[in-house]
């Protein structure tokens, strides 16, 4: 029944990776998280930590609960068991210092770029003068200078997500949650945005949890890649990405990058292959 | 540029001229008991204006209409948002709203009369009842169509309930409310005239009644023309405001 792994000359991932970060250094700590929707158990036994300057990427098949996990981390929905800690607080509702970038962009269509970017600051009660000083900086940072007064419907998907990114960055979070942020933009734009995000992150590193469908993206962005799978799903593998920072276009050409990509690929695909064989018998 | 302008407005101007000509011609050949020509109506209108009657009556009606209408807005919109946000309240109240929206409000006037008599307040109530339901109904429908994702974005950025209303619910819902407001203008004017007919007789409604009782057909037409013009002007204004608040929609 169990097929041998695809023959790649990559060593199998160690199932337990020595923690990259010490307890004290962790920005997010998740213990024994379980989430159910009625009778559907989405995931169980989720345990991990994310360091203050660490990017964790999460890959997994559609419907395995990636968005659900991020919504729990953000405090938007409650988990059924287990707990989430961030910055010394137990997360039960959205907390300051955390910001999310949404797959559907989540821009307010009646607000201009400027008003969308300043939204989080206004919600945080930042004084108007301070907002006026900060917003242009973040608008520039994501390359939207000159589009301050544009409405979302006037912009391409890529520009809309730049705006979504600026809105999240503007509150200067120390935890960034990214739910397939570049999944809805075309391939070229996606590549541009990936490197821009990495450039921005290198300038001001934060803890980041980055969900994606793309194995390439997971390896390029991540310090560790979590493979989420199973029913209910859990973190089946953790692959440490020992590629040097800063990650740039050069990274894509490194032999080690290809190895790691294959490693994540085979881990992810083993289940898909099993499922395929089950169907045939 | 000029030509374009002419082309664009030609059908409207032509149809308006034809309509006025038709009124004039038909008016001249009908019994003055039913109808008078446009020229006679305008002449009467002019007399009413310089005589001062029209202005007084108009101001009277305007006060009634505006009071009822503004109350309908001030109550319809916040209540609509509240009902959209609080599910239990909505489920409980929706049947009553539907029934009242569907009821011809004129039918309620005798009841209002017996309850409240002949003052200003019962008339305001009539205008209010005519105008409030389109505002309320459209606000509820609008506010309920907000994408839950956007509410979640607001929560993710730690929005307070008050901020959620101010930054998300109200701006999103305003174009819908304004559609209701345009409907409410028409219905409110009907309510105004009905109240002036059936409750204490004042304003433009009274002008129509008195003129009609005196077989002054020109006077009737003059008052109707004024009401129609007010209606058109307000609807256009409503449309303007609606587009203004909806400029973010492509
Ligand atoms: N509000 C909800 N009520 C009931 N079931 C839900 C709800 N939200 C998600 N689910 C279910 O939970 C499971 C996980 O959904 P989730 O959106 O987290 O998956 P995902 O990994 O993000 O998928 P994708 O890669 O397609 O975005 C799915 O089976 C989904 O149908
Ligand atoms: Mg998802």
Cβ-based neighbours of B244, under 8 Å, separated by 6 or more: none
Give chain A positions within 8 Å (CB) of B172. 110
- B34 in any annotated domain: no
Domain-embedded: residue B213: yes
**What is the reported pLDDT for A180?**
93
CATH number for the domain spanning B100: value is 1.10.3720.10
Q: Per-residue pLDDT for A16 more than 60?
A: no
Task: Give the model confidence (pLDDT) of B48-77 as tens digits.
Answer: 899 888 899 899 999 999 999 999 999 999
Q: What is the mean pLDDT of residues B155-168?
A: 94
Whether residue B118 is contained in a domain is answered as yes
Contact between A106 and B172 using a beta-carbon 8 Å cutoff: no
Range of the domain at B212: 57-249
Average pLDDT in the A154-161 region?
Answer: 92
| B155 near A CB under 8 A | yes
Does some domain include residue B65? yes
Average per-residue pLDDT for chain B: 90
Asked if residue B50 belongs to a domain, the reply is: no
Q: What is the pLDDT of residues A121-136, one digit of tens each?
A: 999 999 999 999 999 9
Q: Does B2 touch chain A (CB under 8 A)?
A: no
Residues B53/B207, Cβ–Cβ less than 8 Å: yes
The backbone torsions φ and ψ at residue A83, rounded to the nearest 5 degrees and listed phi first, read -145, 160
User: From the CB of A35, is ligand 1 less than 6 Å away?
Assistant: no
Residue A190: CB within 6 Å of ligand 1?
A: no
Domain assignment present for residue B43? The answer is: no
Average pLDDT, chain A: 86
- The answer on pLDDT for A161 being more than 70 is yes
B15: its two tokens: 């149809």
Tell me the average pLDDT across B195-206: 87
Place of tokens 């389109």: B134
- Please indicate whether, in this complex, the C-beta atoms of B248 and A153 are within 8 angstroms of each other: yes
Closest chain A residue by Cα to residue B174 = A110
What pLDDT digit, counting tens, does each position of A45-102 carry?
899 999 999 999 999 988 889 999 999 999 999 999 999 999 888 999 999 999 999 9
Mean pLDDT of A185-212: 91
CB contact under 8 Å between B248 and A151, yes or no, is yes
Residue B124 has pLDDT above 90, yes or no: yes
Q: Do A119 and B157 touch (CB under 8 A)?
A: yes
Structure-block tokens of residue A76: 């938007």
At B242 the pLDDT is 85
Cα(B90) to ligand 2 centroid in Å equals 31
**pTM reported for the whole predicted model:** 0.81
Say how many domains are in chain B.
1
Residue A212, pLDDT > 90, answer: yes
Name the band, by pLDDT with cuts 50, 70 and 90, for residue A277: low
| Chain-chain contact of B167 with A122 (C-beta, under 8 angstroms) | yes
Using CA positions, which residue lies closest to atom 23 of ligand 1?
Answer: A63
CB contact under 8 A, A110 and B159: no
pLDDT (mean) for B157-169? 93
DSSP string, B225-239: HHHHHHHHHHHHHHH
Per-residue confidence band for A234, with pLDDT thresholds at 50, 70 and 90: confident
Chain B residues with CB under 8 Å of A110 CB are 171-172, 248
Three-class secondary structure of residue A9 per DSSP: coil
Q: Is A39 in the pocket of ligand 1 (CB under 6 A)?
A: no
Per-residue pLDDT reduced to its tens digit, B83-96: 998 989 989 998 99
How far is Cα B128 from Cα B210, in angstroms, rounded to an integer? 25
pLDDT greater than 80 at residue A21: no
Would you say residue A248 has pLDDT above 90?
Answer: no
Q: Is residue B171 part of a domain?
A: yes
Is residue A4's pLDDT more than 50? no
pLDDT for A281 equals 45
Instruction: Inform me whether the C-beta atom of residue B250 falls under 8 Å from chain A C-beta atoms.
Output: yes
Q: What's chain B's Rg over C-alpha atoms? A: 22
Rounded distance from Cα A68 to ligand 2 centre (Å): 7
A215 phi, psi to nearest 5 deg:
-65, -40
Angstroms from B166 CA to nearest CA on chain A: 11
The tens digit of pLDDT for each residue in A135-145 reads: 999 999 888 99
Residue of A nearest to B248 (CA): A110
- Interchain CB distance below 8 Å, A119 and B167: yes
* Cα–Cα distance, A60 to A91 (Å, whole number): 24
User: What number of residues does chain A have?
Assistant: 281
Residues A14-40, buried b or exposed e (16+ Cβ, 10 A)?
eeeeeebbeeeebbbbbeebbbeeeee
The answer to whether B51 contacts chain A (CB < 8 Å) is no
Give how far A176 is from chain B: nearest CA, Å: 12
CA distance A105 to chain B (A): 9
Q: Residue B40 and residue B221: Cα distance in Å, rounded?
A: 9
Distance A66 CA to ligand 1 centre (A): 8
* Average pLDDT, integer, range B162-171: 93
Q: Tell me the H-state helices in chain B.
A: 2-29, 38-51, 53-85, 87-102, 109-116, 120-144, 148-156, 161-163, 170-198, 203-213, 217-245
A65 Cβ inside 6 Å of ligand 1? yes
| Residue A12 clears pLDDT 50, i.e. is over it | no
The shortest CB-CB distance from A109 to any of B157, B159, B248 is to B248
**B158 with A94: Cβ contact below 8 A:** yes
How far is A152 from chain B, CA to nearest CA, in Å? 8
Ligand 1 site, residue A108, Cβ cutoff 6 A: no
- Whether B168 has its CB under 8 Å from any CB of chain A: the answer is yes
Q: Can you name the residues that pair with A34 across neighbouring β-strands?
A: A81
Ligand 1 atom with least separation from CA of A62: 25
Nearest CA in chain A to B157: A120
Residue B22 counted as domain residue: no
pLDDT of residue A278: 57
Instruction: Please give the residue that has the higher pLDDT: either A22 or A109.
Output: A109
* Residue B109 pLDDT class (50, 70, 90 cuts): confident
């Amino acid at each position: 029944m169990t097929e041998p792994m695809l023959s790649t000359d990559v060593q199998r991932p160690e199932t337990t990776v020595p923690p990259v970060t010490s307890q004290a250094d962790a920005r997010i700590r998740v213990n024994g998280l379980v989430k159910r929707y009625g009778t559907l158990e989405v995931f169980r036994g989720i345990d991990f930590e994310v360091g203050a300057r660490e990017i964790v990427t999460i890959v997994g098949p559609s419907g395995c609960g990636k968005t659900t996990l991020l919504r729990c981390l953000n405090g938007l929905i409650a988990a059924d068991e287990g707990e989430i800690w961030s910055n010394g607080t137990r997360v039960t509702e959205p907390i300051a210092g955390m910001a999310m970038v949404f797959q559907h962009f989540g821009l307010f269509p009646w607000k201009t770029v400027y008003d969308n970017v300043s939204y989080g600051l206004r919600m945080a009660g930042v004084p108007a003068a301070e907002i006026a000083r900060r917003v242009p900086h973040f608008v520039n940072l994501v390359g939207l200078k000159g589009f301050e007064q544009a409405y979302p419907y006037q912009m391409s998907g890529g520009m809309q997500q730049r705006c979504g990114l600026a809105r999240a960055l503007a509150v200067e979070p120390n935890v960034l949650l990214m739910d397939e942020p570049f999944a809805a933009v075309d391939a070229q734009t996606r590549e541009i945005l990936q490197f821009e995000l990495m450039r921005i992150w290198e300038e001001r590193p934060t803890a980041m949890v980055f969900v994606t469908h793309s194995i390439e993206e997971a390896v390029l962005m991540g310090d560790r890649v979590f493979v989420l799978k199973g029913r209910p799903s859990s973190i089946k593998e953790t692959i440490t990405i020992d590629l040097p920072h800063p990650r740039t276009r050069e990274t894509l050409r490194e032999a080690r990058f290809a190895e790691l990509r294959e490693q994540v690929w085979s881990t992810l695909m083993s289940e898909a292959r099993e499922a395929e064989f089950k169907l045939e018998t | 540029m000029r030509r374009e302008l002419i082309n664009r407005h030609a059908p409207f101007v032509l149809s308006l001229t034809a309509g006025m000509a038709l009124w004039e011609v038909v008016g001249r050949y009908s019994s003055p008991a039913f109808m008078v020509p446009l020229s006679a109506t305008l002449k009467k209108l002019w007399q009413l204006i310089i005589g001062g009657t029209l202005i007084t009556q108009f101001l009277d009606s305007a006060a009634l209409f505006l009071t009822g209408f503004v109350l309908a807005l001030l109550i319809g919109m916040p209540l609509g948002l509240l009902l959209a946000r609080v599910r239990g309240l909505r489920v409980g109240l929706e049947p009553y709203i539907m029934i009242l929206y569907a009821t011809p409000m004129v039918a309620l006037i005798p009841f209002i009369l017996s309850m409240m008599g002949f003052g200003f307040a019962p008339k305001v109530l009539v205008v209010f009842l005519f105008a409030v339901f389109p505002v309320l109904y459209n606000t509820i429908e609008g506010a309920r169509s907000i994408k839950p994702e956007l509410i979640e974005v607001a929560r993710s950025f730690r929005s307070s309930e008050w901020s959620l209303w101010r930054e998300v619910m109200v701006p999103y819902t305003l174009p819908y409310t304004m559609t209701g407001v345009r409907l409410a203008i028409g219905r409110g004017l009907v309510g105004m005239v009905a109240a002036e007919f059936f409750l204490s007789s004042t304003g433009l409604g009274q002008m129509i009644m008195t003129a009609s009782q005196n077989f002054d057909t020109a006077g009737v037409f003059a008052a109707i023309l004024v009401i129609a013009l007010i209606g058109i002007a307000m609807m256009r204004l409503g449309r303007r405001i609606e587009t203004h608040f909806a400029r973010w929609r492509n």
